[in-house]
Structure 1
Amino acid sequence: MTANQVGFAFLYLAAFLLIGKWIRVRVTWLQNLFLPSSIIGGFLALILGPQVLGKILSNFVSKDSFWVNGIFPEQVTVVWSELPGLLINVVFAALFLGATIPGLRKIWDYGGPQLAFGWTIGWGQYVIGILLSLLVLSPVFGMPPLVGALIEVAFEGGHGTAAGLAGTFKEIGFADGYDLSVGLATVGILTGVIVGIILINWAVRREKTSVIKDVKGFSDLRKQGIMEFENRDPAAKMTVRPESIEPLSLHFAIVGLAVLVGYLLLQFLIWLESVTVGNFIDIRFMTYIPLFPLAMIGGIFVQVFFNKIDNARIIDRNMINRIQGFALDILILTAIGTVSIDVIGDYMIPFILLATAGLLWNVVGFLVLAPRIIPSYWFERGIGDFGQSTGITATGLLLMRIVDPKGDTPAFEGFGYKQLVYEPFLGGGLVTALSVPLIYQFGAIPFLIFAMIMCLIGVLVGLLHFGKK
């Protein structure tokens, strides 16, 4: 693979991002679903690539023809298939860079109820998924028990986490797990928005909401994903002078440093395992751990270091967000564009069972547990956690913005504080990254018991502590 081929693959990326955005602006029903342009572009790339168009045209052309890959040169799909696993490290390394971490008391008071609810839903996805795999998917369809982790990996973690675990799935001999995870993540985003809006309409009619009393649509520009003129604030601050270093270059270097710290930490853990427990038992657990959760820890280390030495506060959170968002857009588009439809087709019934079980658990958990765990503004606060647990963080923020457009409730503040404790573990954190290799190495039963205990802790703390306030 040459540098020209990599560059050409990025030209294709640029084209599909632009086309995805143009479709979002023009197609009303996609606007009503609030689908990101990267997802739209990814679906279009999937249709025009070797998985759909290529298979159709292969019936009419020779196997050596350009058209067996759709409109894509083969090297483009090769480059695209590697990008999600690389860019997820950028996304997670940026999570805590430039962020101000408040005191534990404030996190507990404001974000505690949402943390207890989100914790219960997240661990419950493992319980539901593993029980489904042990009772149905493994004995009936011959699938490995680790598929029970895919609901949390895909719904909570999203496309990025699925991409980050691609290497792990290959290492343990279940490469199809990546395609199933990406497919489930796509279903999660779609159902998260659709079901979330249905729940909002239901709550307004039943007077469950405290702020809005009727569902008012966003402006046409908002639905098209275009910032209103009066709201066009700078995307980032210039914390350094460009004649010394371009601010974007500086922040890119800081993100890269965080990834490097994570990589060195991972290599240290692999070495430590080899010279300690590796001398006594034939288990190589650390080699299955992906880089992205360690990149997140690397970002925390880098931020702590800058807090000690940087009196000028040169790390701008908004600039970090732009780098993170750029990486996530490319990650989502390439992950969807290269997913294997054949794999999903081979596991269609297990795929439907996993998606249905995950969605039902999230809906029932939201309707039953959220009003009993979250003491005030339960719908406005809980709908954000429902959106995140089904789709991605952006889905949760979108749903909260609909029911609390002016930020009159503690929903956004509580959600943000909850993330500081939640993200390092679930939703793509350490537990999400370790769940697949843990089940592979030690079996599904021990992890199921552990997940039940964690889920029960979330329920009890939520009901007995926060629910009584």
Structure 2
Amino acid sequence: MTPNQIGFALLYLGLFLLIGKWIRIRVKWMQNLFLPSSVIGGFLALILGPQVLGRILKPVTGEESFWSTGLLSPEIMDVWSPLAGLMINVVFASLFLGTVLPNLKKVWHVGGPQLAFGWTLGWGQYVFGLLLAILVLVPFYDMPPFVGALIEMGFEGGHGTAAGMQQTFEELGFSEAYDLAIGLATVGILSGVIIGIAAINWAIRKNKTEVVKDVNESSALKKAGIVEFEYREAAAKMTVRPESIEPLSFHFALIGVAILVGYGLLQGITWLEQAIIGSEFMTYVPLFPLAMIGGIIVQLVFTKIDKAHILDRQMVMRIQGFSLDVLILSAIATVSLDVIGQYLVPFLLLTLVGIIWNVFGLFVLGPRILPTYWFERGIGDFGQSTGITATGLLLMRVVDPEMKSPAYEAFGYKQLVFEPFLGGGLVTALSAPLVFQFGPIPFLIFSAVMLAIGLLTGLFYFGKMKE
């Protein structure tokens, strides 16, 4: 593969992102679903690529024809396939860069109920997913037990986490889990937005919301994904002078350092494990959770030495957002429809179990765990546990556009404790290797205990609080 082919493959990414944005602007029902342009572009690339258009044209044009792979050549697909696994390291290394840890008392008071609720939803996905695997998927479909962890990986973790686990799935002997996880992440985003918008409409009609009373309040520009003129502000701050180093370059370099720190940690832990214990468990662990720890270490260092405040959170978020767009588009475009078709019934069962648990959590557990503004706060965690963090934020923005409720603040505090473990954190990354190494029963018991802690703390402690 030549450098020109790699370059053109990356240019195609930008083209499909723009087409996705154009479709979002022109198609009203996609606006109403608040679908990201990366998801739209990814589906379009999937349809126009070898998986769909190529299969339709191949019998007509022949296997040697350019059209046998649709509009996307094999070289483009070869470049796109590993992109998601690379970009997830950028996304996770950026999670805590530029953030400031708030007062712990406030975190506990405001974010505690949110953490209990999110913790319950996350661990519940493991419990019911593993039960489904043990009782149905392993005996009847000859699948490995760790597929029970795919609900949390795909729903909570999203495309990035699923992509980051690709090599791990291959080493565990079931590479098909990657395509299933990407499929679950895609269905999760769609169901999260569709069910979330439906839930918001229901909540408004039933007077369950305390802020917004009309879901159609959004302007035409907002539905199209364009910031209204009066709300436009700088995307990031110029904290360093361009003649010394471009601010974008500086922040990208810091993220690179965070990833390198994470890589060093992973290599060191792997070496110690092999030298002291003689096992190879850490060889199954992907890089991205360690990249997140690397980001925390870099942030701690900058907290001590950065007296001029040159580390700008907004700039970090722009890099993170770009990486996430590339990640989602490339992951959806390269998913194998063959694998999903081969395991269609298990895929549908995993999807159904995950959605039912999340809907139960929102409508039954949410009012009982979250002491105030339960719907505004609960819909954010529902969105995250069904789709990704961005889905949760999107739904909260619909139901609380001016941030009048404590939903955003509580959600942010929760992430400080939640993200290092679930939703793509250490537990998400370690779950499949742990189930593979020790069997599903020990991890199921552990997950049930974690679920009980979150549920009981939420129901009998935070649920009784009045803010």
How much has 1:213 moved relative to structure 2?
2.7
How much has 1:36 moved relative to structure 2?
0.4
Contact 2:240 2:246 in 1 (8 A): yes
The answer for unaligned runs of 5 or more in structure 1 is: none
Q: Which residue of 2 aligns with 1:409?
A: 405
Q: Which residue of 2 aligns with 1:112?
A: 112
1:267-317 C-alpha deviation (Å, 9 max, x unpaired): 001100110110xxxx31000000000000000000001111110111100
Q: What does 1:51-450 correspond to in 2, within 5 Å? A: 51-278=51-278, 283-450=279-446
1:137-188 C-alpha deviation (Å, 9 max, x unpaired): 1111111111100000000000000000001001111111110000000000
Structure-2-length-normalised TM-score: 0.98
Distance 1:412 1:329 in 2: 22
Q: Which amino acid aligns with 1:128?
A: F
Contact 2:237 2:315 in 1 (8 A): yes
Q: Which runs of 4+ in 1 moved over 6 A?
A: none
| Counterpart check, 1:455 vs 2:451 | yes
How much has 1:214 moved relative to structure 2?
3.1
Distance 2:217 2:20 in 1: 22
Q: Which amino acid aligns with 1:6?
A: I
1:307-366 C-alpha deviation (Å, 9 max, x unpaired): 111101111000000000000000000000000000000011111110011000000111
Q: Which residue of 2 aligns with 1:21?
A: 21
Distance 1:335 1:186 in 2: 9
How much has 1:425 moved relative to structure 2?
0.4
Distance 2:75 2:214 in 1: 51
Distance 2:126 2:292 in 1: 22
1:380-416 C-alpha deviation (Å, 9 max, x unpaired): 1111111110011111111111221221111110011
Contact 2:93 2:295 in 1 (8 A): yes
Contact 2:281 2:433 in 1 (8 A): yes
Counterpart secondary structure, 2:464: coil
How much has 1:104 moved relative to structure 2?
2.1
Contact 2:33 2:197 in 1 (8 A): no
Counterpart secondary structure, 2:227: coil
Q: Which amino acid aligns with 2:146?
A: L
The answer for unaligned runs of 5 or more in structure 2 is: none
Q: Which amino acid aligns with 1:348?
A: L
Distance 1:356 1:4 in 2: 44
Counterpart secondary structure, 1:227: coil
Counterpart secondary structure, 2:143: coil
How much has 1:64 moved relative to structure 2?
2.0
Count of residues in Structure 1 that have an aligned counterpart in Structure 2: 465
Q: Which residue of 2 aligns with 1:468?
A: 464
Distance 2:103 2:177 in 1: 39
Distance 2:315 2:67 in 1: 41
Identity level (%): 68
Counterpart secondary structure, 1:356: helix
Cα RMSD, aligned residues only: 0.8
Distance 1:21 1:214 in 2: 26
Q: Which residue of 1 aligns with 2:48?
A: 48
Distance 1:40 1:403 in 2: 23
Q: Which amino acid aligns with 1:87?
A: M
Q: Which amino acid aligns with 2:211?
A: V
Q: Which amino acid aligns with 2:61?
A: V
Structure-1-length-normalised TM-score: 0.98
Q: Which amino acid aligns with 1:121?
A: L
How much has 1:216 moved relative to structure 2?
2.6
How much has 1:10 moved relative to structure 2?
0.6
